[in-house]
Chains A and B, each alone.
Chain A
Amino acid sequence: LAKTTQPISMDSYEGQEVNITCSHNNIATNDYITWYQQFPSQGPRFIIQGYKTKVTNEVASLFIPADRKSSTLSLPRVSLSDTAVYYCLVGDIGRGSTLGRLYFGRGTQLTVWP
Chain B
Amino acid sequence: EPEVTQTPSHQVTQMGQEVILRCVPISNHLYFYWYRQILGQKVEFLVSFYNNEISEKSEIFDDQFSVERPDGSNFTLKIRSTKLEDSAMYFCASRPGDASYEQYFGPGTRLTVT
Q: Residues of A at under 8 Å CB distance from B? A: 32, 34, 38, 41-46, 49, 87, 93-107
Q: Give every chain A residue within 8 A of B50 (Cβ-Cβ).
A: 98
From B48, B102, B106, contact of A99 by CB (8 A): B48
Nearest residue in A to B91 (C-beta to C-beta)?
Answer: A43
Q: Residues of B at under 8 Å CB distance from A? A: 4, 31, 33, 35, 42-45, 48, 50, 55-56, 58, 89, 91, 93, 95, 98-108, 110
A44 touches B31 (CB 8 A): no
B101 touches A93 (CB 8 A): yes
Nearest residue in B to A94 (C-beta to C-beta)?
Answer: B101
B103 touches A100 (CB 8 A): yes
A100 touches B95 (CB 8 A): yes
From B89, B98, B106, contact of A41 by CB (8 A): B89
Bound form: Cα–Cα A45–B4 in Å:
12
Nearest residue in B to A93 (C-beta to C-beta)?
Answer: B101
B101 touches A34 (CB 8 A): yes
A97 touches B98 (CB 8 A): yes
- Give the most central of B55, B91, B100, B105: most A CB within 10 Å: B105
Other 6 A-B pairs with CB < 8 A, given A43-B108, A101-B33, A106-B42: A41-B110, A43-B91, A87-B43, A100-B103, A101-B48, A102-B45
